[in-house]
């Protein structure tokens, strides 16, 4: 039986593994530059210093096999409810289909509840149809249309 995956806050030494996970798909391969970790390390420091942000890794033994970022957003809507935003969900290709993603989402939801959030939300690129089916199986509803604008 495989060692269980444990989820913990990321450390600076995890950044290369996190970037590799983010870059290891069709979209990440064109958006990321894993050869230069300087901007990723600066981003890690900003995330790590912000109490409203949590960068998490899933480890199986000493190996980083999953990651996500959880942002805690206070708000006035829904009676002043806070929400958690899940971003950059990645599971290593070798680990997909074995429940790691579901465990990751369960952990994220529990942390959001622990911090008093009334809901959890996420966005997923429109082309990630497998991811959409995964989120829907976990009870997520495609309730909104999202928009983004690049600021070059």
Write the pLDDT tens digit of every residue in 81-130: 999 999 999 999 999 989 999 999 999 999 999 999 999 999 998 888 99
Which domain, by its residues, includes 42? 5-137
| Tokens 């390390």 belong to residue | 41
**Does any domain span residue 18?**
yes
- In 3D space, the residue among 21, 32, 29 whose CA is nearest the CA of residue 92 turns out to be 21
- Could you tell me if 18 and 67 are in contact, meaning their C-beta atoms sit under 8 angstroms apart? yes
Say whether pLDDT at 24 is over 80: yes
Domain tally, the chain? 1
- Tell me the whole-structure pTM to 2 decimals: 0.92
**Does any domain span residue 143?**
no
Neighbours of 61 (CB within 10 A): 10
């Amino acid at each position: 039986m495989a060692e269980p995956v444990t989820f913990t806050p990321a450390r600076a030494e995890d950044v290369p593994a996190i970037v590799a996970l983010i870059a290891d798909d069709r979209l990440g391969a064109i958006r990321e530059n894993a050869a230069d970790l300087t901007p990723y390390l600066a981003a890690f420091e900003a995330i790590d210093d912000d109490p409203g942000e949590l960068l998490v890794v899933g480890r199986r033994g000493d190996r980083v096999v999953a990651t996500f970022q959880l942002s805690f957003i206070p708000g006035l809507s829904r009676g002043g409810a806070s929400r958690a935003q899940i971003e950059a969900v990645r599971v290593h290709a070798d680990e997909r289909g074995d429940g790691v993603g579901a465990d990751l989402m369960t952990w994220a939801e529990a942390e959001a509840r622990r911090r008093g959030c009334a809901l959890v939300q996420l966005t997923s690129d429109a082309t990630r149809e497998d991811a959409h089916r995964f989120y829907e199986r976990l009870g997520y509803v495609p309730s909104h249309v999202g928009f983004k604008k690049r600021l070059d």
